Structure 1
Amino acid sequence: MGNVSVQLSEKQREIVEQPLNGSIQILASAGSGKTRVLTERIRFILGKVKKDGVIALTFTNKAAAEMKERLTSGTYDENRIWVGTIHSVAQRILEQYGHTIGLPSNVQIFERDKDRMEVFLEALRADGVDIDDYLNVDDPKEKKSRERNLQNYMDGFSTIKREMLSEEEASERFSENPDVWRIYNDYQNALLNSRGIDYDDILRYAHRILLTQTWVGDLYRAKYSHICVDEAQDLNRLQYEFVRALAGSEDSNIMMVGDPDQMIYGFNGSSSLYLCESFVADYTPKTFLLTENYRSSRAVIRAANRLRPGTQKETEFALEGSVQLAHFPSEEEEANWVLFHIQRLTELKEHPEIEGYISVDNMVVIARNRFVFSKLETALKEQGTEYTVKVGEREKLPESLFGQVLDCAIRVKLNPNDWVIGKKLCQLLGIPTPPVWGGSELLSQFQKGYCSNSNGSMVNLIGDLLSAVENMALENPNILHFEKQFAEKLGKLATAGPDEESKLEYGRSLIELQEFSDRWTRFRKLGLGNSLSSFRNAIALGKLNLDVSETGLTLSTVHAMKGLEKDIVFLIGFCDGTFPDYRADTIAKLNEERNAAFVAVPRARRWLFISYPLSRMMPWGSSRPQQPSRFIQEMDLS
């Protein structure tokens, strides 16, 4: 028990087999095997002690799922390991102990920005407030852009929470708006009056529970004596303080793994200083460096090293690989060049430096922002080539009327005070909003109002759906029976639809019903609870996103590709103003853009193709000359 059998380097093994008492800091560059070290360290801990458990904190649900999969083959009790994102661990604490700090039961997460805005605006309207005057929108032209102005407030509120700003600090940070703290408190009151919280509140309230209800932290520490944090360079202040509160003291056993040169979430308040300075000051950890890149070819490592000198070491077995640079008169010609190369490479089929057959499955096209893919997506569609765009982990919104009503009805059932979602549901049903929100009869009222307006197959279906959700149990709902009941109805309607459009709508409804049922099955399999409220919050946090079959060519932004790699990478749109982003107007912001480039380059295991257009069509319709990214010169590729 506790012996490491997986093949590790001497340095990796030294880290894994460190004494169990004390904190560890691992500064690990791209391709250095940090995930393997992290998982093997957890195995080592669980093998050395019989009862103590480990909490492993990740930044994405995908990373958490992959780590769980790596750890399932152990001989230890799997209940001793809790792997999850920082937000999912905080959410579990909230669900169990939120009442201890006065939060309402079944508190709902407003994870969508538009819902957060609408909660706030509805509260202001209810109080008879002139919204434009309240939000300091003085310019008549700006009134047309109220949502943009309101989004700035939402971003500011997130900054206050993530950086844990006091009233004085917030007033100093947002000195151009002396009312920001008052408006922030009004926003928080509006959320709580709707029995809701936003995404940042999950950590904020969980942190408050751990600080004020110390016995809660004691319960977790009695079961889990070790905490491991992956991608720790991306911690913001609130996340770091949450980990500290969970750990409980400076004598805790915390391992943080990260690479300061890959910190690319500064817009979320992230800073590598929490890994490199705060953690060191608070816990005096033993520090280890992992710099050997076991993944990428020599050419790719050389390019990465020019961006961040001395961060990557070649292994003696590394293949040579290649890095190529190309530029084109326009984005269209750049896109055609990418397609030509993809076709040429797939026709090649085999190469000594590529393991297995060459196909689009081991290729990816990376860009700094989604808009860079515009011309390439057009070319792919014209050519009839299948492709997938990698997106984030937030919840995919339903498209069919059935799916949208199901989503809104469950949220109204769980929280009758949620006038934002209730209003959406009324709009979907084409019925007036009630004068008063709350009570357990809302869905019944909506169903009667909807069915009295008209009749027909769709009306009957939606009426039955509202009744079924109203009668759904809050604890242990029979989702499988619900799915079977409506799958049969939708199947018949899809077959007998009067026209092609109706058949497509019923078909979409059937797919979204199946996805809903599959998420419930996944929710139960992951042991995340058995209540409808916990299920809804798990969906909101992206914990139940179903594995999408990524067929065809993959297009991905740098941020979505982090932690992943392919044999062949095309890095397109590599122009100044795009990469680095034109908003990188300070040394710190430019440094983060360089980090993003450093993340992008070693996504390539073998071959990297970098390209840029000499002109770009701007959104307003005129063409603008482009300059190559300054990072090209830094990599000595020009």
Structure 2
Amino acid sequence: MNPDDILDQLDPEQRDVASHLTGPMVVLAGAGTGKTRAITHRIAYGVASGVYTPQQVLAVTFTARAAAEMRARLRALGASGVQARTFHSAALRQLQYFWPQAIGGTPHRLVENKAALIAEAARRLRISTDRAAIRDLAGEIEWAKVSMLTPEGYAKAPGREAPSGFDQRSVSRLYQAYEDLKEERLVIDFEDVLLLTVGILEDDERVAAQVRQQYRHFVVDEYQDVSPLQQRLLDLWLGERSDLCVVGDASQTIYSFTGASSRHLLEFTHRYEGARVVKLVRDYRSTPQVVQAANELLAARKASPREDARWAEPLELRAQRPSGPAVMFGEFRDDAEEAAGLAEHIAATVKEGTPAHEIAVLFRTNGQSQAFEEALSRAGIPYKVRGAERFYERREVKDGILQLRAAARSAEPGEDAPALARTILSSLGYSPEAPTTTGAQRERWESLAALVAVADEVAEARRSRGEETSLQDVVDELTDRAANAHVPTLDGVTLASIHTAKGLEWDAVYLAGMSEGLMPISYAQTQAEIDEERRLLYVGITRARRQLHVSWALSRTQGGSASRKPSRFLHALSPDVRAKHGEVSSRERASARRKPAKAAVCSVCGGALATPQERKLRHCADCPLSFNESVYEALRAWRTSESESTGKPAFVVFTDATLMLLAEALPSSPQELARISGVGASKIERYGETVLEIVSTHRGS
């Protein structure tokens, strides 16, 4: 291909990127600005003009899909032979080639999943784990390795919060046991591929020289996501040379929890003096309305001067597409209404001519997908879940339904079904409060919390009809929903978390569940964490080409108190949201995280009660429950004995919440017993005399 023809296809800024072929260059490329086009044309122009030898160019990106797309574009531009790979793919190729001479023997086998080895290492140390904990531990070990921390170094890492249920020392011991086990089995993991390649290049100058002779020119895409380990490898590939072009956008840094850092992008010009800087700000993806929303979101960020050094000045995008529809904002009464409303709107959008595969519903956490799966199924709209298992196929969901079904067979009539569901699911990892950490533990909790929400919805619906709710009613509803959720998904609406949507785009995007506690997520507390949440929403907005819909629900359950607020980030995007809801106070944010489901107040502090258990106890979780501990412990001991002798689960006898109420009320007659939630006529007949005797015996202890 004629070199000039390659440049003629580019806008002025892209042409600037493509026509300067040597020396250091940093391309600051906003979302939808054609960065892949710019760097592939740069490489093709270098090959066509004779400056580059194809086999001496290495283009690095972060996903196999992106690498494949880059290779296809280069072939179309006449630049076949250029290596376009991920960091891991390029390093693995080199490691396998140099292993015999640098390490000796046969290369160790690569394991693609750490779970089995981590589980075995945990058993050796007698550390109790489950599937979710193993996933979180795997993520933590990966973070440590890409941050180039040894087990000993991890134990001393300042300010690092270990996964839920563990401390740094125990994770460090497990990390070391995992490394020892890999050495015994002669296997390596993906992080080892980078670490070993780095080690070989640092220790063997002959190997380093051979690699540097092979590759003379480097391009790195998504440079804001480079980890310290990947940067170390890149430095070794380069040596003392500076023929490096990096492309990135600090405003799209959303993987800090994996070790990614935009620091390398932001400090590029300090490291390479005289580096050429090109900004790509012409947005070819989105309409002016979508682009304006993205710009306003980043421009509205406020922080103290002390924090400003950690926030990169955002690029201001300039839309190149014709005008489109205004960004739509939708407020719904509850999650179910939001899901149904979006499904109805999506059906109309499809009817108007937008293919289902050009539509996406994006949310903050995987646990939010359930409501949209069900709503789309009911509307007959095919869908596919990206980056996560279908809700009813998740292991914790299957286990939860199985346990609820088993418990329903022996549950007593009149028992509080939602409270029973909470007690049963607590054995799988559910708790009234969400975990403060990210990862698999959080995802597991989200799934179980979704089951609890179904129990609440069933109870609310039956209560409105004057009917009682049994645990079997909850199980029947879950079974029905699971059966109806299985629809063809080969070509359908995409359901995805915003994280997994990175790098993708659709004609119509629905950003759902955009309320305080979800966006920003409740455990984002520091300025840096809030900033990352803002960048995550920016990524979500910029996935839309033409239509953007932003929605939130005021309540989690049908008929619940409208205690939620739309995300604070939306105030900059919609005057109506700002006028109606104003600024969100820290107290309101805390209230949003607790998600009260009913207008009931604590008997101690007068605050709103968030969960059925709190309402049952008439106490919020933050206030101490003034029950008689001696009576409570005696009742628990009796319940254990009763459970063992009858074979009934302990919660079927009495739940913990009911025991607390008994220990607080200290009833002295069957009539007083009957006024306590969770104590029905059958239980008074069966256990009443014994309970009253225990209360009488221990109340003065």
Pairwise same-fold verdict (TM > 0.5): yes
Task: Say whether residues 1:186 and 2:187 are aligned partners.
Answer: no
Partner of 2:528: 588
Task: Say whether residues 1:63 and 2:66 are aligned partners.
Answer: yes
1:244, distance to aligned residue in structure 2 (A) = 1.1
Match of 2:235 among 214, 222, 244: 244
Alpha-carbon distance between aligned partners in 2 of 1:178 and 1:372, rounded to the nearest angstrom: 34
Deviations 1:458-507 (A, max 9, x none): xxxxxxxxxxxxxxxxxxxxxxxxxxxxxxxxxxxxxxxxxxxxxxxxxx
1:293, distance to aligned residue in structure 2 (A) = 1.2
Going from structure 1 to structure 2, the CA distance change for 1:373 and 1:553 (only over 3 Å counts) comes to: same
Partner of 2:264: 274
Task: Say whether residues 1:563 and 2:554 are aligned partners.
Answer: no
Alpha-carbon distance between aligned partners in 2 of 1:366 and 1:288, rounded to the nearest angstrom: 31
SS across alignment from 1:72? helix
Partner of 1:507: none
Partner of 1:161: 145
Going from structure 1 to structure 2, the CA distance change for 1:174 and 1:182 (only over 3 Å counts) comes to: farther
1:110, distance to aligned residue in structure 2 (A) = 2.6
Contact 1:120 1:191 in 2 (8 A): no
Match of 2:76 among 73, 78, 81: 73
Where in structure 2 are the equivalents of 1:313-332 lying within 5 Å? Answer: 313-315=317-319, 317-332=321-336
Going from structure 1 to structure 2, the CA distance change for 1:560 and 1:316 (only over 3 Å counts) comes to: closer
Contact 2:288 2:321 in 1 (8 A): no
Partner of 1:388: 384
Count of aligned pairs: 455
RMSD over equivalenced CA pairs, Å: 2.9
Task: Say whether residues 1:202 and 2:193 are aligned partners.
Answer: yes
Going from structure 1 to structure 2, the CA distance change for 1:317 and 1:163 (only over 3 Å counts) comes to: closer
1:239, distance to aligned residue in structure 2 (A) = 1.0
Contact 2:507 2:545 in 1 (8 A): yes
Going from structure 1 to structure 2, the CA distance change for 1:71 and 1:213 (only over 3 Å counts) comes to: same
Task: Say whether residues 1:116 and 2:136 are aligned partners.
Answer: no
Question: Structure 1 counterpart of 2:532, which letter?
Answer: E
Going from structure 1 to structure 2, the CA distance change for 1:218 and 1:48 (only over 3 Å counts) comes to: farther
Partner of 1:363: 359
Deviations 1:107-158 (A, max 9, x none): 2233324223134246x2xxxx5x14xxxxxxxxxx4x56666555444432
Alpha-carbon distance between aligned partners in 1 of 2:25 and 2:335, rounded to the nearest angstrom: 47
Partner of 1:16: 18
Match of 1:575 among 511, 515, 519: 515
Alpha-carbon distance between aligned partners in 2 of 1:97 and 1:119, rounded to the nearest angstrom: 31
Question: Structure 2 counterpart of 1:37, which letter?
Answer: A
SS across alignment from 1:583? coil
Going from structure 1 to structure 2, the CA distance change for 1:348 and 1:73 (only over 3 Å counts) comes to: closer
Contact 1:293 1:312 in 2 (8 A): no
Contact 1:616 1:625 in 2 (8 A): no
Deviations 1:559-594 (A, max 9, x none): 222122111111111111112111212111111111
Going from structure 1 to structure 2, the CA distance change for 1:178 and 1:118 (only over 3 Å counts) comes to: closer
Task: Say whether residues 1:611 and 2:555 are aligned partners.
Answer: no
Going from structure 1 to structure 2, the CA distance change for 1:283 and 1:240 (only over 3 Å counts) comes to: farther
Contact 1:30 1:312 in 2 (8 A): no
SS across alignment from 1:45? helix
SS across alignment from 1:329? strand
1:204, distance to aligned residue in structure 2 (A) = 1.2
Question: Structure 1 counterpart of 2:249, which letter?
Answer: D
1:190, distance to aligned residue in structure 2 (A) = 1.0
Partner of 1:257: 247
Partner of 1:31: 32
Partner of 2:565: 627
Deviations 1:383-423 (A, max 9, x none): 33221112279xxx9x9xxxxxxxxxxxxxxxxxxxxxxxx
Deviations 1:302-337 (A, max 9, x none): 110111236233346532432010111111111111
Where in structure 2 are the equivalents of 1:355-504 lying within 5 Å? Answer: 358-391=354-387
| Structure with more contact order per residue of length (Cα contacts < 8 Å, sep ≥ 6) | 1
Alpha-carbon distance between aligned partners in 1 of 2:130 and 2:338, rounded to the nearest angstrom: 38
Contact 2:109 2:187 in 1 (8 A): yes
Partner of 1:302: 292
Going from structure 1 to structure 2, the CA distance change for 1:152 and 1:564 (only over 3 Å counts) comes to: closer
Deviations 1:587-638 (A, max 9, x none): 11111111110111011111100111112259xxx98942211111132351
Alpha-carbon distance between aligned partners in 1 of 2:173 and 2:500, rounded to the nearest angstrom: 36
SS across alignment from 2:40? helix
Alpha-carbon distance between aligned partners in 2 of 1:164 and 1:326, rounded to the nearest angstrom: 45
Question: Structure 2 counterpart of 1:569, which letter?
Answer: V
Partner of 2:684: none
Question: Structure 1 counterpart of 2:382, which letter?
Answer: E
Going from structure 1 to structure 2, the CA distance change for 1:51 and 1:39 (only over 3 Å counts) comes to: closer
Match of 2:155 among 171, 188, 191: 171
Partner of 1:552: 492
Deviations 1:487-531 (A, max 9, x none): xxxxxxxxxxxxxxxxxxxxxxxxxxxxxxxxxxxxxxxxxxxxx
In structure 2, the gaps of 5 or more residues are: 160-166, 300-313, 396-487, 578-701
Going from structure 1 to structure 2, the CA distance change for 1:271 and 1:617 (only over 3 Å counts) comes to: farther
Alpha-carbon distance between aligned partners in 1 of 2:225 and 2:568, rounded to the nearest angstrom: 25
Contact 1:107 1:195 in 2 (8 A): yes
Alpha-carbon distance between aligned partners in 1 of 2:324 and 2:245, rounded to the nearest angstrom: 34
Deviations 1:442-466 (A, max 9, x none): xxxxxxxxxxxxxxxxxxxxxxxxx
Question: Structure 2 counterpart of 1:611, which letter?
Answer: S
Question: Structure 1 counterpart of 2:49, which letter?
Answer: K
Contact 1:307 1:631 in 2 (8 A): yes
1:174, distance to aligned residue in structure 2 (A) = 6.0
Going from structure 1 to structure 2, the CA distance change for 1:334 and 1:205 (only over 3 Å counts) comes to: same
1:56, distance to aligned residue in structure 2 (A) = 0.7
1:83, distance to aligned residue in structure 2 (A) = 0.7
Partner of 2:84: 83
Going from structure 1 to structure 2, the CA distance change for 1:612 and 1:43 (only over 3 Å counts) comes to: same
Going from structure 1 to structure 2, the CA distance change for 1:35 and 1:380 (only over 3 Å counts) comes to: same
SS across alignment from 1:308? helix
Question: Structure 2 counterpart of 1:91, which letter?
Answer: L
Alpha-carbon distance between aligned partners in 2 of 1:64 and 1:387, rounded to the nearest angstrom: 27
TM-score by length of 2: 0.60
TM-score by length of 1: 0.66
Alpha-carbon distance between aligned partners in 1 of 2:367 and 2:288, rounded to the nearest angstrom: 31
Alpha-carbon distance between aligned partners in 1 of 2:154 and 2:269, rounded to the nearest angstrom: 25
Alpha-carbon distance between aligned partners in 2 of 1:615 and 1:99, rounded to the nearest angstrom: 62
Going from structure 1 to structure 2, the CA distance change for 1:611 and 1:149 (only over 3 Å counts) comes to: closer
In structure 1, the gaps of 5 or more residues are: 133-142, 350-357, 400-547
Alpha-carbon distance between aligned partners in 2 of 1:96 and 1:283, rounded to the nearest angstrom: 35
Deviations 1:338-375 (A, max 9, x none): 111112222233xxxxxxxx221321111122211111
Alpha-carbon distance between aligned partners in 2 of 1:207 and 1:95, rounded to the nearest angstrom: 13
Question: Structure 2 counterpart of 1:159, which letter?
Answer: W
Going from structure 1 to structure 2, the CA distance change for 1:172 and 1:623 (only over 3 Å counts) comes to: farther
1:263, distance to aligned residue in structure 2 (A) = 0.4
Alpha-carbon distance between aligned partners in 1 of 2:269 and 2:156, rounded to the nearest angstrom: 27
Question: Structure 2 counterpart of 1:295, which letter?
Answer: R
